[in-house]
Amino acid sequence: MPLITVVGSGRVGTSAALQIALRELGDIVLLDVIQGLPQGEALDLNHACAILDLDVDVKGSNDYRDIQGSDVVVVTAGLTRKPDMTRLDLLLKNAEIIKEVSRHIRENAPKSKVIVVTNPLDVMAYVAYRVTGFESRRVMGFSGLLDVGRYRYLIRNRLGVSYKSIRGMVIGEHGDSMVLLPSHTYVGTEPLSKYMDEKSTAEIVEATRKMGAEIIRLKGWSAHHAPGAGVAVMVEAILKDQKSIIPTSTLLTGQYGEKDVYAVLPCVLGAEGVEKVLEPSLSPDELTKFRESVKIIRNAVNQLSLDKT
């Protein structure tokens, strides 16, 4: 059975572990630096598996040696956003955490695929890529499914159609400069523009950008149910070699003229990780916004010291 490690036993980590268990994707190691926390969460999750007849074993650990043999490592460790904080406010502190986690992954799970969830997402995925030394296809960032999920939620509420009928895409930064693509959004077989005018579409795009902050404002901490669900979808795509097209933060190698930076683009996820990076056709305005978004990510990366890993 595959082995999936989740580094970080906070709300996002435990939500991801639960969603992975619900799909019976493999056994799980839940790892955290806090003594007792992952062990207690693992025990609770094992009891849930027993109730639901899920033949999955969840182990809590404080020792990175227990991640040996992991097929996928999900990294949720780090500080979380608080009210009035942006994802970039977390930059310096979380970079040091991700560096340390990445060294342990390199030493103990050198054949794994790595999914980074820690914010600021695109920057942290790049840090993990640099520090692990893994091929870029094996290190990716989760966020696109979350942003598209929020976008689809708003469209469904406006139009009253099933989620199954709505397809959308996001590119760029997981943050305020994200570039949602109404031009690549479909309701059934028709473009979104057939059912929604430009003003309504713009309102939904703006509301999607602000959704993360709204959740924090309402409940006092950041989202975790939706990230956990999205992470499980990515893990499943890799372990089952589904070749699913999922918006994923990945290393740019010349797409739209950008390289050596992580940003979200639609990617084909399969057994090798990011197996292909797609380049949807963009309008001049969309391309400009994408490049501006990438510039924000690049500027954040430039604030870090990644020479000594």
Residue 9 marked ligand-binding: yes
**Residue 236, by phi and psi: left (phi above 0), alpha (psi -120 to 50) or beta?**
alpha
Residue 106 marked ligand-binding: no
Do the beta carbons of residue 140 and residue 248 sit within 8 Å? yes
CA-wise closest residue to 225 among 237, 207, 212, 208: 212
| Residue of 47, 104, 174, 225 marked active site | 174
* Strand positions, DSSP E, 16-110: 27-31, 58-61, 72-75
Residue 108 marked ligand-binding: no
Residue 119 marked ligand-binding: yes
Residue 150 marked ligand-binding: yes
The yes-or-no answer on residue 174 being catalytic is yes
Residue 94 marked ligand-binding: yes
Residue 11 marked ligand-binding: yes
Residue 13 marked ligand-binding: yes
Residue 81 marked ligand-binding: yes
Q: At 268, phi and psi to the nearest 5? A: -90, 115
∠ CA 184-189-193, rounded to 5° = 50
**Mode of pairing for the β-strands spanning 3-7 and 27-31:** parallel
From the annotation, which residues make up the binding site for NAD(+)? 8-13, 32, 94, 117-119
Binding residues for substrate: 81, 87, 119, 150
Residues that are catalytic: 174
